[in-house]
Structure 1
Amino acid sequence: MTYGTGSLPALGTVRARLDAALDATAHAWLHAALADAAARPAPGAPEHGVEPWELRFAEAARRTGDEHADAARLLLLHAARADTATLTALYTQGTAAERRAVLLALPHLVEGPGALPLIEDALRANDTRLVEAAVGPYAAAHLPAHAWRHAVLKCLFTGVPVDALARLTERALGDGELARMLGDFADERTAAGRPVPDDLHRVLALTAPEPLKDGRADPHGKES
C-alpha cells in the first residue's frame, strides 16, 4: 500500500488498509510502535534523548516493507502528536524516505503555514520523491501564489506528474501569470531542442480564465 500525495486519505482508512496489508509480525510491530508513540511526553516537555517511538519511525521500512513505510510513519507521527518542531527535527535529521513521510504527514498534523520551510526545502531538492510529496494538500493550502507556480514548474522540470499537485485545477484556473511562465518554459525547451512535457499543455489549458455568467471569459485572471 502506498500513501498518495495528491489526495488526503482519512487516518482511519490508512490504518485499516495497513492492518489488512501487514503480516502478523509486522502488525505486532506496528501495535507496539503506536503504543510507544502514544506514550511519549506531550510536546514541549523536557527532552531525554531519542525517544523509543523515534527509533520506530526510523526502522519502519525494515519492519513493514518499503511500500507500507509512509503509512506506518504517518500513523506514528499522529499517535505521537508531533508538532511542527518535532516534524522539523525528524525532517532535518532524516533520510530521504523519512523526509518524504514527514511531508506527507503535514496536512494531517499542522493547521497553519508554520511548516512551509519544510515544503520550500523539499522543492529545492532534485529528489523527485521529495518534490512529489511536497506538492500535496499542505502546499496547496498554504503556498503563496508565486511559490506555488514555481512548484508547478519544478514538477515539469523534474518529471514529477502534475497529478501529484493537489488542487491543481482550482489553483491554476484563470492564473494568467502561471500561463506566462509556462509559455516561457515551453519556449526555452523548444529553443534548446528539448521536448515540451505533455503535462505542460495540460496545465496551460487549466489556466484559461473562468467564464462569466454571460458566457464571456474573465479577461483579468488571478492576481499574483
Structure 2
Amino acid sequence: MTAEERLAALVEEVRHDPAALPLASARAARVVGRGPGLDGRRIEDVARSRLLVTACEAVGPDGAADVVAAQYAVGDADERRAVLLALPELADRGLGDGAVPVVLDALRTNDTRLVAAAMGPYAAAHLPADAWRHGVLKCLFTGVPLAAVADLDVRRDAELDRMVRAFAEEREAAGRDVPADAHRLLAAADR
C-alpha cells in the first residue's frame, strides 16, 4: 500500500467520524511518512492538514472553528504547526476569523516553527493590525525570517516601522545585534 493510499484510508476514517481526527493526526507521520516532500512541504504537515480539512468539511462551516481549536489544543507542536498551515485553505472554505484565537496562541509561544506558521496568509488576512504587528516583532525577536510573514509589504505601515525602529534602538543600546531583517525593513521605510 502506498503512502497516498494509507493517507486516503485515514481521510475516510475522519470523513466518517470527525471525532477520530486527533488520533488520525497523531498517527499520520507513522502511517504516511515524515520529512520534505517533492513540493518542499513536510509530508506529515500535508497529511495532517488534509485530515483537518476533511474533519472541518464533515462538520460544516458552523463547526469548523471548534474543530480547529480542539485539534490545536490536543496536538503536539508538529500537529499544531499543521493546523496553522491548513488555515488558509480552511479560510477559503468558510472558516473566516474563527481561528484567530489559535493564531494568537501560537504567537504567544517561543516555538519558532509555530510562530513562522502562524504568520502565514491566514494571519495576513484575518489578524487585527495590532496583533499582526506584534507577530512581526515576535518573528524578529525569535529569529524567524520575515520571509515567513505573508503580505508583509502590503500590511506594513508607519506604526510597524516605528515599532521596528524602537526594537532596533533598544537592541543597539543593550549592545546586542539587530537582525538583518530589521535593518532591511527599516531601509525600506526610509525610502
TM superposition score normalised by structure 2: 0.85
Tell me which of 69, 81, 96 is aligned to 2:44.
69
CA offset digits 1:96-135 (Å, max 9, x no partner): 1111111111121133212111011000000001101100
- Which amino acid letter does the alignment assign opposite residue 160 of structure 1? V
Please state how far the C-alpha of 1:28 moved relative to its aligned partner.
2.5
Tell me which of 122, 133, 138 is aligned to 1:149.
133
Structure with higher Rg: it is 1
Distance of 2:184 and 2:16 partners within structure 1 = 47
Closer, same or farther: CA 94–162 of 1 in aligned 2, 3 Å: same
Closer, same or farther: CA 146–206 of 1 in aligned 2, 3 Å: farther
- Which amino acid letter does the alignment assign opposite residue 38 of structure 1? R
Closer, same or farther: CA 191–35 of 1 in aligned 2, 3 Å: same
Aligned-CA RMSD value: 1.7
Indicate the residue corresponding to 1:34 in structure 2: 11
Contact 2:21–2:71 (CA<8 Å) still a contact in 1? no
CA offset digits 1:20-64 (Å, max 9, x no partner): xxxx442331121111122236xxxxxxxxx43432111111222
Distance of 1:53 and 1:142 partners within structure 2 = 25
Q: Which runs of 5+ in 2 are unaligned?
A: 36-42
- Which amino acid letter does the alignment assign opposite residue 40 of structure 1? D
Return the structure number with greater relative CO, CA threshold 8 A, min gap 6. Answer: 1
Indicate the residue corresponding to 1:181 in structure 2: 163
Indicate the residue corresponding to 2:87 in structure 1: 106
- Number of matched residues? 175
Contact 2:10–2:24 (CA<8 Å) still a contact in 1? yes
- Which amino acid letter does the alignment assign opposite residue 144 of structure 1? P
Please state how far the C-alpha of 1:65 moved relative to its aligned partner.
2.5
Indicate the residue corresponding to 2:70 in structure 1: 89
Counterpart secondary structure, 1:166: coil
Distance of 2:127 and 2:82 partners within structure 1 = 19
Percentage of matched positions with identical amino acids: 55
Indicate the residue corresponding to 2:40 in structure 1: none
Please state how far the C-alpha of 1:155 moved relative to its aligned partner.
0.3
Please state how far the C-alpha of 1:207 moved relative to its aligned partner.
3.8
